[in-house]
Chain A
Amino acid sequence: MPILEAQNLHKSYRQGKTTTDAVRGVSLTLNSGEILAFLGPNGAGKTTSIKMIAGLVRPDDGWVKLDGLDPHKKSRALKSIGAVLEGNRNLYWRLTPLENLEYFGVLRGLSRKVARQRGEEWLQRLGLVDKRKVTVQTLSRGMQQKVAIAVALIHRPKLLLLDEPTLGLDVEATQTVKTVVREIAASGCAILLTTHQLDIAEDLSDRVAIIRQGQVIAEQPTRELIRQFSGTSYNIELEETPDPETLLRLEHVGATAKANHIFVRGSEQLYDVLEKLRPLAIQEIKKDTADLTEVFLKLVQDT
């Protein structure tokens, strides 16, 4: 059974006379250990979707199942999720990291002893042991975010929701958050994260769902999405510029050359071209891959 199943979620907000259709029929499935990146421009409905999954916003239509239970009907379902929501640090500023971990552990149903023990483990793991006496208020944003993630995981949920987890973090902190996310997924927790930083989605996710104006317009394994949108052309770099005779032969099979760089349009021609190049020394053959940024822009800009 999947950890998360969301089916046909809809949500409209009414504010005075205007109605915003924030989410229009989003469906998602997530299995343990999987990382799904939820990608979309501002206002696309990512946060609203995540909050519906977490039971914080009631859907107008559709349903959510967390490990088989509907969080809008059974509060027990909430035991299987942890969440760090957008823009917030979900911590008590006057408490130390350990005090926060202990408090939220008990709030999530652990005994004080277990909460404390796990809190200590998290401090070790996040390299925050030397900050044990310091209030959260005085920690850097990156450290706060690490503690926030630990707080969300203190009760060992099966699903972790992260809304823009690296927003406003510096390079180093981003790196740590990435590492932590990978480790958590490796230990079997399913992760749903939203981000506008595409490189992060590309680095972290197994699967990407692209959302635009409240609808998922593409959902695929990350590698496949990239492959699909990658060109089929190749770049061949030679160690030296080929002689005019070879160049002529290359043009014959449909390749174009510029000094020691040869461009091949399709994979069908690749071996013909290589045949003609023999016995010249090849420096590098590279497939022209799109990165997720390009895929994202293409999909989001279409129509």
Chain B
Amino acid sequence: MLALFLAEVRRSWIQFIRYPSEAIIGVFISTITFYFLFTGASYVAGPSGSLATADGAERLDVLVIGYVLWLLMLFVLSEATNSLEGEAKTGTLEQIFLSPHSAVTVFLLRALAGMAIRLLLIAVNLGLILLITGSNLAFPPLLVLPLVTMLMAAYGFAFVLAGLVLLFKQVRQVLGGLQFGLLLLIGAPVENFSGVAKVMALMAPMTPSAGLLRDLMARSEGLDWGMLAIALANGVVYLALGFFCFSRAERMAKQRGLLSGY
């Protein structure tokens, strides 16, 4: 298992770095995009144009976090579906189903390997952005916990989408529609909700984790362990749901002869 994980890390890394100019341009573009978004946002954030106030600075940081998380989630989903679509075409997908490991195991290890590399890149990205904008986000080590619960829910989604790819080959349209939905899920200020809205938000995928991350990083508040428990339950449920849907899709694909080609 560990050997396979390391092999996945090597494979992903080689594929990423094989054409270094492409890799560097990728990082560059996302940093630039963000920079313009950021300057635009700060213009909107303070009607008086004053970012000096504490309130303005907090709003800005919330935006930064929201954007980075959104990017991360988009990466998780598009990576899962794009690579699956590509592999169905080249035939490597069938080889995965021919391996004695279950497909869920292989794809989960892949996801983890891809994430390890992506987190590294995001760290670079974030570092550059903080350098340019002088925003001061906090990075308490505890933030790893809500990040993990958030990724669990995100991978749950990714597995559902991957299942759809097995059955329908093309899910680009779904992914396009999902981008906006993701923005809502990640941006919903669950920490300010109450009553039914709050309960709904807590059950929505990723939302409680995103709230925790905002508290930790933009507001420098301590970790709310009760909330973390909810976020964890949220992550576990959505991940399990993803596994379940993917396994069902795999069975259907074998039934209909859809594993690649058709």
| Interface: A254 (CB within 8 A) | no
> Contact: B14 with A94, CB < 8 Å?
yes
| B residues less than 8 Å from A108 (CB atoms) | 99-100
| Interface: A57 (CB within 8 A) | yes
Question: Would A13 and B100 be within 8 Å (CB), given that A56-B94, A90-B94 are in contact?
Answer: no
| Interface: B44 (CB within 8 A) | no
> Contact: A89 with B90, CB < 8 Å?
yes
| Interface: A76 (CB within 8 A) | yes
| B residues less than 8 Å from A56 (CB atoms) | 94, 97-98, 254, 257, 259
Closest to A86 in B: B261
Q: List 11 A-B contacts (CB under 8 A).
A: A58-B254, A75-B101, A83-B94, A85-B91, A88-B91, A88-B260, A95-B14, A106-B7, A107-B4, A107-B96, A107-B99
Closest to A137 in B: B18
CA distance A47 to B251 in the complex (A): 19
- Which residues 163-187 of B sit at the A interface, judged by CB distance below 8 A? none
Closest to A58 in B: B254
CA distance A151 to B15 in the complex (A): 18
Closest to A13 in B: B257
Question: Would A135 and B97 be within 8 Å (CB), given that A88-B90, A88-B91 are in contact?
Answer: no
CA distance A141 to B236 in the complex (A): 45
| B residues less than 8 Å from A193 (CB atoms) | none
| Interface: B30 (CB within 8 A) | no
Q: How many A-B residue pairs have CB under 8 A?
A: 104
Number of interface residues of B (CB under 8 A): 31
Q: Which of A47, A75, A86 has the most CB of B within 10 A?
A: A75
- Determine how close the nearest CB of chain A comes to the CB of B204; give it in whole angstroms: 35
Complex interface bits, B77-120 against A, C-beta within 8 A gives 1, otherwise 0: 00000000000001110111111111000100000000000000
> Contact: A95 with B15, CB < 8 Å?
yes
Complex interface bits, A85-99 against B, C-beta within 8 A gives 1, otherwise 0: 111111111110001
Residue from A75, A88, A94 within 8 A of B94 (CB atoms): A88
Known A-B contacts: A87-B261, A91-B92. Give 20 more (CB < 8 A).
A47-B261, A56-B94, A57-B254, A57-B259, A83-B94, A83-B98, A86-B261, A88-B94, A90-B92, A92-B11, A94-B18, A95-B11, A95-B15, A95-B18, A99-B11, A103-B11, A107-B95, A107-B99, A107-B106, A112-B3
> Contact: A99 with B14, CB < 8 Å?
yes
- Determine how close the nearest CB of chain B comes to the CB of A47; give it in whole angstroms: 8
> Contact: B100 with A103, CB < 8 Å?
no
> Contact: B255 with A151, CB < 8 Å?
no
Question: Would A102 and B97 be within 8 Å (CB), given that A13-B256, A88-B260 are in contact?
Answer: no
| B residues less than 8 Å from A54 (CB atoms) | 94, 98
| Interface: A109 (CB within 8 A) | yes
Residue from B10, B100, B102, B260 within 8 A of A79 (CB atoms): B100
Closest to B96 in A: A107
| A residues less than 8 Å from B6 (CB atoms) | 106, 112
> Contact: A107 with B101, CB < 8 Å?
yes
> Contact: B14 with A90, CB < 8 Å?
no
> Contact: A91 with B254, CB < 8 Å?
no
> Contact: B100 with A151, CB < 8 Å?
no
> Contact: A91 with B94, CB < 8 Å?
no
- Determine how close the nearest CB of chain A comes to the CB of B104; give it in whole angstroms: 12
CA distance A99 to B98 in the complex (A): 19
| A residues less than 8 Å from B100 (CB atoms) | 75-76, 78-79, 108-109
| Interface: A48 (CB within 8 A) | yes
> Contact: A106 with B4, CB < 8 Å?
yes
